[in-house]
Amino acid sequence: MDLFLIILAASLFGSFANVCIYRLPLEKGVVGGRSYCPKCKKKIVWYDNIPIISYLLISGKCRKCKMSISSQYPMVEFLHIISFIIIYFLFGVSTTSILLMILALTFIIIFFIDLKHYIIPNILTFPLMALGFIKSFDPNINSLFPNYINSLIGGIFGYVIIWLIIFFYKQVKNKEGMGLGDAKLLAVIGFWFGWIAIPFVIFSSSIVALILVIPSLVNKTRKFSSQIPFGPYIVIGCILYVIFIDQYKNLLFG
């Protein structure tokens, strides 16, 4: 029964995430208003808005105008279901699970917005910073999370290190290398997981970005000067940190 509720909640939050991904870059509200087809402007009826299932039933096309619906929609919903199930099996029904599900929800939204629009909205990062710091005052919280001192140091460290990269790159190249959205996102990770997570996330996200970008540089579909959204790679780096946290700490502290 718990697993069924988790899947149901993940599906609903995945649907909400799709609304955020579409509307936030357009500076539209995400709470009010029915979903509609961007081409024919017809409102989507409830039975065509069931996560994943509706997409399959209507073959990924608007029922009215037959315009193709992006596969991003079921992908986002599927990612929520998978991430929520993994969190549930690792941490059960707990405060830690709730916190990680909130983080997963927001990270997925950030991932797809930055991937398409090259922005990370403050409305997503600022609440995460606050929540990451507030939760650190709970002495009974999972050891995955730091105490409030390490949380505060992590948040500041995460922001400052990206700010310094931006500053020095601009001095050398006379142009922006990264955005402050990336600095705020790394600050989020610092507030949530402490300063110790920052070096791992920066290193691993850079390696992942390099691996994924090299093919496009080799076949010349992308230039060295091309803009690259780094937020998705920071998210991947954070996921890798959570997966390999024990090995990472053993490497550092023996």
Contact by Cβ (8 Å): 80, 11: yes
The reply to whether 107 falls in a domain is: no
Q: Which residues pair with 61 in a beta bridge?
A: 68
The reply to whether 106 falls in a domain is: no
Are 50 and 125 found together in one domain? Answer: no
Amino acid, single-letter form, for residue 129: M
Count of structural domains within the chain: 2
The reply to whether 111 falls in a domain is: no
C-alpha pair distances (Å), 221 with each of 85, 153, 207, 211, 224: 37, 40, 20, 15, 10
Contact by Cβ (8 Å): 235, 110: yes
C-alpha pair distances (Å), 223 with each of 144, 207, 210, 216, 217: 39, 18, 13, 8, 6
Contact by Cβ (8 Å): 125, 50: no
Q: Which residues pair with 33 in a beta bridge?
A: none
Are 71 and 135 found together in one domain? Answer: no
Are 30 and 153 found together in one domain? Answer: no
Domain containing residue 124: 119-254
Amino acid, single-letter form, for residue 103: L
Are 10 and 74 found together in one domain? Answer: yes
Are 142 and 63 found together in one domain? Answer: no
Are 143 and 249 found together in one domain? Answer: yes
The reply to whether 177 falls in a domain is: yes
Are 57 and 123 found together in one domain? Answer: no
The reply to whether 224 falls in a domain is: yes
Contact by Cβ (8 Å): 137, 145: no
Are 86 and 207 found together in one domain? Answer: no
Amino acid, single-letter form, for residue 22: Y
The reply to whether 104 falls in a domain is: no
List the structure tokens of 233.
């790679």
Residues in the chain, how many? 254
Are 146 and 207 found together in one domain? Answer: yes
How far is it, in rounded angstroms, from Cα 34 to Cα 173?
46
Are 82 and 152 found together in one domain? Answer: no
| 119 backbone dihedrals φ, ψ, rounded to 5° | -140, 155
The reply to whether 100 falls in a domain is: no
The reply to whether 113 falls in a domain is: no
pLDDT in tens, the chain (254 residues): 688 899 999 999 999 999 999 999 988 877 766 677 766 767 777 677 778 888 888 878 877 787 888 889 999 999 999 999 999 999 998 999 999 999 999 999 999 999 999 999 999 999 999 999 999 998 778 888 999 999 999 999 999 999 998 888 778 777 666 778 999 999 999 999 999 999 999 999 999 988 888 777 677 666 655 678 899 999 999 999 999 998 988 888 76
Are 129 and 228 found together in one domain? Answer: yes
List the structure tokens of 3.
């697993």
Are 193 and 251 found together in one domain? Answer: yes
Q: Read off the pTM.
A: 0.91
